[in-house]
Structure formats: C-alpha cells, structure tokens
Structure 1
Amino acid sequence: ALAWGEQVTQKYSVVLVQGHLVSEALLLFGHQHFYICENFTLSPVGDVYCTRHCLSNISDPFIFNLCSKDRSSDHYSCRRHSYGDLRLQHLAHIKYQEDIALEIFFRNGCSKFFVFHNSDRSKVFKSFCSFQPSLKGKGAPEEPLHLRRYPGSDRTMLQRWQKRDISNFEYLMHLNTLAGRTHNDYMQYPVFPWVLADYTSQTLNLTNPKTFRDLSKPMGAQTKERRLKFIQRFKEVEKTEGDMTVQCHYCTHYSSAIIPLPRPSARCRSLLSLQGGSFDVADRMFHSVKGAWESASRENMSDVRELTPEFFFLPEFLTNCNAVEFGCMQDGTALGDVQLPPWADGDPGKFISLHRQALESDFVSANLHHWIDLIFGYKQQGSAAVEAVNTFHPYFYGDKVDLGSIGDPLIRNTILGFVSNFGQVPKQLFTKPHPARTAAGKLSPGKDVTTPSSLQGHPQPFPCSLQALRPSQVTVKDMYLFSLGSESPKGAIGHIVPTEKSVLAVERGKLLLPPAWSRTFCWGADDLSCCLGSYGSDKVLMTFENLADWGRCLCAVCPSPTTIVTSGDSTVVCVWELSMAKGRPNGLHLKQALYGHTQAVTCLAASATFSILVSGSQDCTCILWDLDYLTHVARLPAHQEAISAVAISDISGIVVSCAGAHLSLWNVNGQPLASITTAWGPEGAITCCCTVEGPAWDASHAIITGSRDGMVRIWKTEDMKGSVPGQVTPEEPSAPPTSPKGHRCEKNLALCRELDISVALTGKPSKTSPAVTALAMSRNQPKLLVGDEKGRIFCWSAEG
C-alpha cells in the first residue's frame, strides 16, 4: 500500500528478473518511497492492472519471450522501499542485450534486476539519482572500473584487497558485480574458483601447496594430458570447421550456476523449469564434491566448470533438507545429500568453514591474481588467452555477438541457447596483469597455522586474549545518565554503542538510532507513548502517541535508519517506518503487525545482514521473522522459562536465546546448534547477551552473557567429538532442545572465562554485585563494554 499522504509521480513498466522467475512488473516513484509491483502492468491509457486481467504491453519479442506465460502461478505483490535503503545501482545487460537492464542494490545486501522494453532505463537511472543523491556517479559506464573507491575510504577496492583490508571473498564478489555478474540472472551468475585439489585426505593441510589447485591455469589445463588434448582440439578446428573464427579450446563454459546448486527448494524449481519439468539423469547431477572436482579438472572433456559463491558460505545447499526425490544413480544409490570429502567429517558446516579458510589462505592470497587474469583480466581474450589455453566458443563472448544484426532466427536462437545452457564470459575488467596481493607477515611463534592471515590488519579474535583481559571504567561521551557534577546515575544501562572515537550509551528504556547515533528512541512514559530524543540532552524531537494503541512497550530494536521494531504487553511485534523530510523525522507509521506470541514480548534482536528479526516472550518461545517480507519464518522450540535476552550474529547468522540461566544457539533456519545451563539459582539468570564477530570462516562461535549476579561469562562452541579440559559439563543428552523435525544439537558450549568486576578491582567477590544490563563489543579493537544496573560501564581489554 502507498505510504500515508504519498503521491505517485512516475510510473514505469518493467520486467523483473529473479533467477528462473521472469515477470512483468511496475516501478512506481513517490516522494519518499518507490514501489515494485510484481505481475502488474500498465494499460494503454496508463492505468494499473494485474497481468491476469490485462494484455501485456511489451512489444519487443525478445523481452516478451523472457517472461513466464503461465498466469496460474503468478504471485501478485506490491512492496514499498525507502530511497535511503539504496546503496548503489549498476547499468546491466541480459543475454547480450545492452542498454536494457538496470540492477539496484540495497544496504541489506539484496538487489533487484529490471529489464526495460522501451527507452525508460536512463530515465529510471536518473530518477533514482534525483531521489537518492548519494547514488550519483555510481554505476556510470565511463567510470574506470578498477578505480572505484570504497565508500568512506581513500583507497580503491583493489588497493584495499592488496593491503588485506578486505578478504579474498569480498574482493571476488566486488569483481563479479563490476563484471555484471548477478544472483538474479543464472546466465550471469557470480563465478568463484576451485581452490583445493585434495578431496581424499582425512585432514586438510593448508600449509602444503599440493593441497591447492593451480590458480594460474584454467580448469581445462589442470593436468598436462588434458591440456594437450584441448590444445589439439584448438588446432583441429580449421580442418574440421573451415572457419577460424570459431577456433576455441572449449565448447562449454565454466559458469553454469544451476547445475551444482539444485538442493534448495527454489533451485529445484529452477532446475525443473530449465530441464522441461523433470530432473536430469541422477549420475549427471551434482552429488559429490570429489566427483565434481575430478570431472571438471581431469575426467570430463565437456566439463570445465568453476564454483559459485555458495561453496564458501552456504552449508544448506549441500543437504537435501526438503527430501526431494532426485532419482537413483546407476549403482542404485539414491541421490540425496552431497557427498563431502573425508576431511569434512560429513558436516556441511565444517566443509564450508574449511573451504572458506582455504580461500583466505596464504597460498590462495599469493596466487589469486593469476585466476583473476583468466576470468576478468588480460588472459580472458586474445593471444594471451590462446597461450593460457583459455578460449571459448565465440558465442560465449558478449562483445563479439551483436544479436541485433543477426537476421537469421535459427542462428539467433542457437546463440541464445548457448547462453541459456552454459552462461557467458564476464565483462573484461583488466587489460594488463592484475597486481599481486601484499605478502602476509611471517608466522609468529605459537600462531595457529590453520588461521588464515588473509586479513593481516585485523585484530586477533577476542577469545585469543581472554586471559589478559583487564577492566577499566569508561568515560562516555555526552553521557546524560549522570547528573552534572555528580556520579548519581539515572538508571541501568540499556544500550551501548562503541564508535571509532568514543563510547555512547543510554539507560534502559532508550535506544540509540543509526547511522549517526545522535538520536534516541524512548519508551516507558506513563501515557504509553514513545518519543524521539536528542542524544546528550533531554530535548524531545517528536512524540509518537499512536504507539499507545499497542499497550506498554517493553523493548525495541532499530535494524535500519528508517525502521523501528517495538513490542511489549500486547504480544504483537510492531514494525514501524520512520519517515523523514529533509533529514528530519516527521512521523512513525506502522508497516506491519506480526502476530504469534501469547504473552508479553520481552526482548528483540535484528540483523539487517541476514534480514531476520527474533522476538523473545514470556510465553517461553522465540519467533524468527523475515525482515524483508515481514513474515513468520520459524518458531523455536519452547524453552523452560520466559525468554530474557536474544541476539543475532551479523557474521554467521547464529541466533542466541536466553531463558533464565539457560543459553541456546540456533541457526537461521531455527535448528539447534548448542545448549547449556550457565549457572544455578535465580541469581544466575541471564539478563543480556551478545556475539563476538570473528572471521567468517571460523566454525566456532563466541557468545558473551551477562547475569543478574553481576558476572560476565564468555562461551565458545566446540564440536561434539572434542573434549576440552576444564569444560563446563553440558546437559544430559535429553536436555538440549530439538527442532520441530527432531534435530539434536551439533556442538558443545565451553566456558572460556568468567569476568567479575569486583574481583578484578578489589581482589575479592562482592555479595551485592549489580546485575549486568548491557553488553557491546568494539568492532575495531577486541574490547568488551559492560553496563550494569548502577549505570556504570566498564571496558575489558587486553591493554587494561
């Protein structure tokens, strides 16, 4: 629905591409928001109709044929987006058609891919720039790709990668985006390299160069014998074809995304759509990592496929969790979960973790520029590509194919068939050899060689310096918890935000708002209203009386600058949009009321990175919600007590729930990972929690809890197989919670250290330590900020 008081100023008919789903849509521009209306179109006089009740107005046969013709399965929706949620936009192409596509990227990582069947693309591009000035200059085709600077930095992305400010994964995703690769178009899916050659060992040795694939050679040249065969094929083209323009090493391509990723349900539908409604022969489907490597690197002359990003972050794609019947192979084996290498111990999470460690390893960091030369650089085309045994059929190169000049429909459809089945070569980004990455420093004595030094400038993970932690009291910038000239606090600490220059904090019942943290959202007034305040003063900027209709507010979270989520006695989770006018707030309007709890909601947490919201209630349950679609995702199994605290990791997506003294970890799908009782007695009840953001490839997770007894406890997950001296005894096997499908916990929680401020300062414990009420981790330095019931904040750091 349109936002309150908003008028639509521009209407554009577009085609929305979402993987195998291609549908007509409308793009509407208002003053504060833009709207994407899926399966709607414009009539000849400009009226809005759903596609079921109005003929298509697409006259271009190429674009018309892209769209689905089955109206029975159409999903009709109209979603509202704030201009402030946009991060950038890219001019794009689809199936070699230039000047017709545009991809917009949101701050939460999502994107939308539009195709225009008229000359509206430039108008839409300019409209987005006018409504969101920060987009100006981003996506302009004349801008040198390798010189684009990272927002807020003087360095280009290339320089940041060379200096190890960003990971190999981040840099490869950046290059894929610049080259026009997108998750929305399976024919231009992001491409990542095979990095390992060892899929048979029981343990993975990342210090042995023989463990790795040769990144200076394409997949067709990984063995000498195979390389010579492809060179011979290249030389024989003139004899067999009589046309030197089709001379190539490979007639298939390396970037077909849909084949290796069929197991998530959406990909199953895509695969069925592409293969005429039935799955391929089971033996030809992706069923083994080792088998896929051997096929692409050695055995199959028709297979030179590389990998996709999912192989480095998404364990779910390796399991057939939906029990889809893919058929049986010739030996009678039913196709189900993907067979993993021995070093993964049958654990998809461990495979992804080790695979990501390999991508970020010193060996890959030192050689990745060679692979970039092959895929995005000077070895992609021309004589350098011939010498590198890296040439493909001309139909795979978009700059060599002009579909508009091809009059023969048979040839035109043949080219499109090539692209649809095998993908296409990315846009060439570099015409000279790509610079190497700066060498990592030498390993220091006692350093764990399995920990990648890819991010040389990043601080050591927080748990590494646990034994050296010492507390110091924090001076909080503009902190108005204290009266002038005295040390009397207004109340317990409710929210702490460590910034680069200072520490900001407010008392319970208030929330600091991003991105500047200069405003606060406040609740708890006698009339049940909420208000917007200015940090550092008692000035009220705006009062929101409409929140009183939803009863007493007990908690709030702010996942984005324009979204505030509240809940409390009403049991309803309310998602509000904070509307702005010229940088100033002018209203708080309800976007969605989420129903599911039966008693008061006591805590909320959100992750814009994973687009999830978690709510905890006195009804002893937690519910996961989708932040994009504002819908129910999963209800976690009931806890034994009311939920007192929740948190979400922006790195791993791990969900933390606390009920009394009970601590549980879950994945984003609501399946349990670990569970433990942290203390005994009511004084040990957990009052707050947070996650430690370590490297994305670290399979273990650190969780910090604050309790009513004033203790801060630091926990780390460990595999069930391992036993650690001094580990806190986990609960009996019957105690850990199970998911609705009966999954048991996969990990143990081990206590790393207990932090007692009284012991640290006075040398002896206090019988009346104030409860811990807020926790926060500094992003730039391994420092833990702890707020208590007396309004004090202490910083625990290795420096003291």
Structure 2
Amino acid sequence: MKGEISNFEYLMHLNTIAGRTYNDLMQYPVFPWVLADYQSETLNLSNPATFRDLSKPMGAQTEKRRQMFLQRYEDVVNDEEEGDMSARCHYCTHYSSAIIVASFLVRMEPFSHTFQTLQGGFDIPERMFFSVKKEWESASRDNMGDVRELIPEFFYLPDFLLNSNHIELGCMEDGTTLGDVELPPWAKGDTQEFIRVHREALESDYVSSHLHLWIDLIFGYRQQGPAAIESLNTFHPYFYAQKGRQNAKDPVVKSTVLGYISNFGQVPKQVCHTVFKRILLCESFVPFKKLFTKPHPPRTGSKKEGSSPPHPTPFFFKLDKLKASAQPFRELPRGPVGQILCLEKEVMVLERNRLLLSPLLGCYFSWGFPDNSCAFGNIATEKTFAACESLCDWGETLCAACPNPTTIVTAGTSTVVCVWDVAVNKDKVTHMKLRQPLYGHTDSVTCLAVSEVHSMIVSGSRDLTCILWDMEELSYITQLAGHTTSISALAINELTGEIASCAGPRLYLWTMKGQLLTCIDTSCGPRPDVLCVSFTQRHEWDAKNVIVTGCADGIIRIWKTEYTRTQLPGPPEEPVSPGQDRTERDVSNSCQVKGWERHLVLCQELNRRQTVSQRRFKNNPAITALALSRETLTLEICQRSPQGQD
C-alpha cells in the first residue's frame, strides 16, 4: 500500500491468495493489459491516454463494444426450465483459460505440445498469437469472443516472444512465415526492451494509482453481484467456482461445469466480499493488513502522493555531481583489495585471494599459498583457524566465489571449475568436500561470478571464452565465445540475468542464453585493461541503470545502453533505367526498413586523482575492486597504491 513492494509482486500475492497458480493452466495467474498504445515509437508514461482503462473490463474498453455486450445481456431472458444454460451474462468466454495461456506461450515447450493437444494441432496462423498490437486490438475492440487479459510472463520473460525452437507455426495468407512475435515500435525490435518498458508501465505512477480498480473487477467486490452487473463484468455461471460446488452432487451438471472450466477458464476466488472474511484474511496474511477493504484502496507511494518519505537518490542519477572522498576510509597493508562488500551497517574490505564466507559467521576463505592449499580465518581477529589441502590436487587456485555459506567455487591453472561443500561452525571447519568438478575450459580459469537467484556460475578463462554452468544441476549450459584476449572480470545482473565480461579493454554484454547483446572497446590510454565490473540494480525496469568498470589506468567508467537506428541491408543498387529520375530511385531506396541496434555509451568518467591530462594515466593506481552500496547511494572503489597497497 505504501510502495514498499512492486506492483508485480503485489499482483502475484493477490493471485496466490485467490488460488491462481503456475501449476494449473486453468487457474493460471492473471495480469492486466496496462497499455493501450502499441504504435508509438516512444511511450509517454505521463500521458493517461497511453494506458488502458483499468476501471473497465476488456469488454468495455470502447463505447461501441460496451453497448454490444450490454445489449447481449439485456436480450437474454432467464428461463427456469433451461436453468444455468440460459442465464444472463455479459461474456460467454473468459479472460484466462488453459488455451489462452498455451497460445501466449506456444513458442516454448511444453506449452507448444499443450496447445496442440488442446487445439488438435496448431490453429490457423491468423488466429495464432503473432503480434502484441493485434492481440490488444482483438481483446479490446475487434473480437466479441475475446476478452483475454495477460499472464505474468509479459512482464519478465522475453523468451516466450521468440521462436527460438524454430517451431513450424504455419504461414499467413500473404506468405509471411509465423516466427517471433511482432513487437510494438517502442520495443525497438528487442524482446528484452519490450519486457523492460512493459514492466516500467506496470510500475508507473498511473498504474499504481488505478490498479485497485482492476483488482476490484478480478478479485474484489465488482467480481460478482450487483456491482459486477453495473460494471459490465458478469460471466457464465459455470465459470464461478461456487456454482460448481453447489451442483457437485449432480454428475451431469458437474461434468458440464468442468467442461466449461476446461475450455473457457474459471473466475478467481473472490478475496474480498464480506467484512468478516476480510478481517480473517487480513490476520492470516500479514503483508496485506489494509488489503481487503471495499472498494479496494489505491496503491500509494508515488512521487505525487508523497505519503511516505522520499527514497534517497541513487548515485547514478546524478553523475555530474559525484564527489570522491578526500581520504580513503581504509588502507590494507598487505596487498591489493580483492573484494568489497556493502553490508547493512558496514563496508567490508578483503585483500586479494580472500573471500567472505559468511557475515554472520565472521569468517573468510583464502587461497594462493605456495603449496596450493587453502585456509579459513576469522575476520575480526585476522587469524587463521583452519587449513585444508583439498585444493592441492587441482593446481594453483586463481579465483574463487562463494554463493552461500555452504558452497565455495574455485578454479585456476587446472582449467577445471570445482564446486565444494563446506561446513564451518564456531571457527571450526567440519568438512570441505568436492561436490563436482566442471570440465570445459582448455586453459587457466582467471575469474568467476555466481548468482543464486539465477542458479548460474560463469567462469572466464585464458582460452578466450566464458562458460555458463547450471549451479543446481552442475552441468554445462553454453559458452560465450568471441573474446580477443584472456577474461579479466565478470559480473551477473541479479535482476535481469545479463552478464558482463571483460577481456583486455573490451566490455561485452550477454544474455543468460549466451546471446551477445553488444560490446565496446573502452580503450582511452596506455593502460586500458578493465580489471573489475559491476551492474547497478535499482529496478529491473529502470532505463537509468548503468554498468561500472574499473580500469588499470585508475579511471572509473560508467556506461549505459542505448538504441540507435540502423539501415538494414537492402537489395543491390540498380542502374538508373532510361527515363527514370535518379531522385525517384533514391526515394524508393529510402523506404527500406530500418532496424535498431543496442550500444554501450560512455556517460561518465570518474578519476579520484584528476590532474592535468598528460599525467592522468601515468600516475593513477589501478582500480582493483568495485562495490555498490545497498541502496546504490554510493560507489565504493579500491585502488592499488604505488607501493602495491590499497
């Protein structure tokens, strides 16, 4: 209610309370259409006309359509002999059903198989899901039998819009082969950009202040009864769960109800209908203490309403005003910094070849000893309390990562990535056991990155490749090839799953599937190599998020992604025929389709020891580690001093 969780999370909680689940296509989570503009090059999220009317169901998005459904309702006369079959309702189809879900996800298995099972094969291509714009027009304006809403995947999963499996979906009447879903112009031809902008729209101030109206229609007091009739929001009686329960003893009626639900869908459980039940639900579900009022209250916490304290501004929102601290907050006497951790109440700095195992246990893992062994120590006392020879059989360890207190990932000159099970308790190592060696590299592994959120390990090597590993299955996923030199730094975006890899001066950006999104040469001087990299992760839909790199020349460089138009390759230029004006031909060539390309753009350079430009690269110590504070208010960096200390 105060903007403390996202609208997406809010809707997922509501779906769960209402009995909607990913495990049942007939009761799949339901999400709203939030936009009405699928033709503009750029969306204006401050313009109400950009959005769908959330106070009305899909059957009433236009006045003409509303009148048609209203006429349908008034034309039906309840016949007691016919029973429920002739009951009055506005809609004889539903906004969520197994076939609707399968049609949206038809380009992915197992939904492709499910769709064919339900439909008896693929549908006529023109009736398949092939365009977001066409789907909106059908559900909101053109098709009286279509009042569908959306599914959660429209706000987080770009893969379902791509025909990556090359499924043969047929050809349109004009000969066009059905492949990837056609995106609106504002998506720049990029499924990831579609998801980002669509999610940004869901989280916008307009939707936040009107979402309660849609909730009332789907989960609330306008779902049934007089309020539903007034709102043009009634469905066939068999779509309601309580109707099936009332007639459960009659096998014929029960079979009919199940048939309707299987084919057309089911209305979610009404989560707010009487005061007594609202109170019980509120007590049993603490995060929604104010949720079940009648009508549903609007979500607050937007900039305009200002009911909650404003959030501090992230550092990357004001790059031109960034200031470096006059003095370092800590210097390490024994070598360069290898890891910075921004914890809730402190910033923790560890030397190279040391890794925090657990803030609660207060212990670290260290490597790089002459005998290739490893050790565990206490952070507070700086004393080693255990040494292990488990790593000795795997050559020199060059890097390590710790996704959780019971797992350590190591790699080095053996070319093998090793995943270890570790148990530490009260400055004692109970065991350190090899869970699985991962083979794939052909040269020394130089860096690692892990993500528990995406269950992924990324390893970078001197063999000029990175490999993605499944952290649960401990198996190979894919390889990131095309680097020009040894990999020096890696980072995983916990929100989007994007991967940044650095090789020499080059910065690469990849998807979790191994698709290269873009790359750039960051060279700006005699010591251009990138030594560390990090993502800002404020919100996955925020276009202001940046990538931060720390380089050997002592410069912090901040990058953002932008889209630029590109001329797609066209037919070869034809000679001017007799009687044809060259200008006429040039005009016809200018009508070629233009595409979009994603680029990394330098938006700021930060230099703590900025002096005259001639001495800029010569005297700056290298940046060895980066970290962002928990609220991305500050950027923490570590530089190697002239004496080799930090």
TM-score (norm 2): 0.84
Is 1:576 aligned to residue 427 of structure 2? Answer: no
Q: Distance in 2 between matches of 1:781 and 1:642?
A: 30
1:299 and 2:162 aligned:
no
| Letter paired with 1:282 | P
Residue 464 of structure 1 aligns with which residue? 317
- SS, match of residue 484 in structure 2: coil
Q: How far has the Cα of 1:615 moved from its partner?
A: 0.6
Which letter does structure 2 place at the counterpart of 1:255?
Answer: S
Amino acid at match of 1:613: I
Query: What corresponds to 2:12 in structure 1?
Result: 173
What is the 5 A alignment of 1:1-20? none
Indicate yes or no: 2:633 matched with 1:782.
yes
Q: Which amino acid aligns with 1:434?
A: H
Aligned pairs, number: 591
Match of residue 283, structure 1, among 126, 129, 140:
126
- Aligned AA for 1:371? W
**Contact 1:673–1:745 (CA<8 Å) still a contact in 2?**
no
Structure 1 residue 363 displacement after superposition: 1.5
In structure 2, what is the Cα distance between the partners aligned to 1:553 and 1:753? 35
**Which of these residues, 83, 101, 119, is aligned with residue 243 of structure 1?**
83
Q: 1:275 to 1:523 in 2, by over 3 A?
A: farther
Whether 1:437 and 2:280 are equivalent positions in the alignment is: no
Paired residue secondary structure (2:460): strand
Q: Secondary structure at the match of 2:324?
A: strand
Q: Which runs of no fewer than 5 residues in structure 2 stay unpaired? A: 274-293, 567-594
**Corresponding residue number in structure 2 for 1:746:** 597
Residue matched to 1:212: 51
CA distance in 2, matches of 1:324, 1:296: 25
Pair 1:587-2:431 in alignment:
yes
Distance 2:429 2:606 in 1: 41
Q: What is the letter of the counterpart of residue 438 of structure 1?
A: T
User: Does 1:346 pair with 2:185?
Assistant: no
Equivalent residue runs for 1:648-797 within 5 Å: 648-679=492-523, 683-699=527-543, 701-721=545-565, 746-759=597-610, 765=616, 767-790=618-641
Alpha-carbon separation, structure 1, partners of 2:308 and 2:413? 46
| 1:506 and 2:338 matched | no
Q: CA deviation at 1:346?
A: 2.9
Determine if contact 1:674/1:745 at 8 Å carries over to the other structure: no
**Out of 172, 177, 191, which is 1:329 matched to?**
172
- Identify the structure with bigger relative contact order (alpha carbons < 8 Å, sequence gap 6+): 2
Match of 1:320 in 2: 163
Classify 1:640/1:781 alpha carbon distance in 2 versus 1 (closer, same or farther; 3 Å). closer
Match of 1:20 in 2: none
Shift in Å at residue 761 of structure 1? Answer: 12
Corresponding residue SS for 2:403 = strand
Q: Relative to 1, partners in 2 of residues 1:288 and 1:762: Cα closer, same or farther, differing over 3 Å?
A: closer
- Alignment map for 1:49-88 (pairs within 5 Å): none
Residues 543 and 422 of structure 1, relative CA distance in 2, 3 Å threshold: farther
* 2:39 alignment partner in structure 1: 200
- Per-residue deviation at 1:582? 10
Q: How does 1:289-688 map onto structure 2 within 5 Å? A: 289-402=132-245, 405-406=248-249, 408=251, 411-431=253-273, 432-438=294-300, 440-442=302-304, 457-472=310-325, 482=332, 489-514=333-358, 516=360, 518-579=362-423, 586-679=430-523, 683-688=527-532
Judge conservation of contact 1:601–1:616 (CA < 8 Å) in 2: yes
Amino acid at match of 2:94: H
What is the CA deviation profile of residues 734-776 of structure 1, one whole-angstrom value per residue up to 9, with x for unaligned ones?
A: xxxxxxxxxx993222222222222279997473432211100
The offset of 1:788, in angstroms, is 2.1
Letter in 2 for 1:437: R
Instruction: Give 1:22-33 correspondences, 5 Å limit.
Output: none
Classify 1:474/1:438 alpha carbon distance in 2 versus 1 (closer, same or farther; 3 Å).
farther
Aligned mates of 2:328, 2:607 — CA distance in 1 = 20
2:3 is aligned to 164
SS at match of 2:610: helix
Instruction: Sort the Cα spacing of 1:765 and 1:367 in 2 relative to 1 into closer, same or farther, 3 A.
Output: same
Tell whether the 8 Å contact from 1:462 to 1:692 is kept in structure 2 after alignment: no
Per the TM alignment, residue 700 of structure 1 is displaced from its structure 2 partner at its CA by 6.0
Shift of 1:638: 2.8
Q: Does the aligned pair in 2 maintain the 1:620–1:642 contact within 8 Å? A: yes
Across the aligned residues of Structure 1 and Structure 2, the Cα RMSD in angstroms comes to 3.1
- Asked whether the 8 Å contact 1:167–1:454 carries over to 2, the reply is no
2:607 partner amino acid: D
Measure the CA separation in 1 of the matches of 2:492 and 2:361: 20
Secondary structure of the residue aligned to 2:9 is: helix
Report the counterpart of residue 55 of structure 1 in structure 2. none
**Distance (Å, rounded) in 2 between the aligned partners of 1:223 and 1:664:** 46
CA 1:203–1:640: 2 relative to 1, 3 Å: closer
SS in 2 for 1:688: strand
Aligned to 1:501, the other structure's residue is in SS state coil
The answer on whether the counterparts of 1:612 and 1:627 sit within 8 Å (CA) in structure 2 is yes
Provide TM-score, normalisation by structure 1. Answer: 0.68
- Aligned to 1:324, the other structure's residue is in SS state coil
**Conserved in 1, the CA contact under 8 Å of 2:317 and 2:544?**
no
Deviation at 1:423, TM superposition (A): 3.2
CA contact (8 A) 2:334 2:645 kept: no
Change (3 A) 1:168 1:763: farther
Determine the C-alpha separation between the residues in 2 that align with 1:244 and 1:404. Answer: 11
Q: Which amino acid aligns with 1:353?
A: R
1:463-498 CA-to-partner distances (Å, cap 9, x unmatched) read 32111111116776xx7x75xxxxxx1211111111
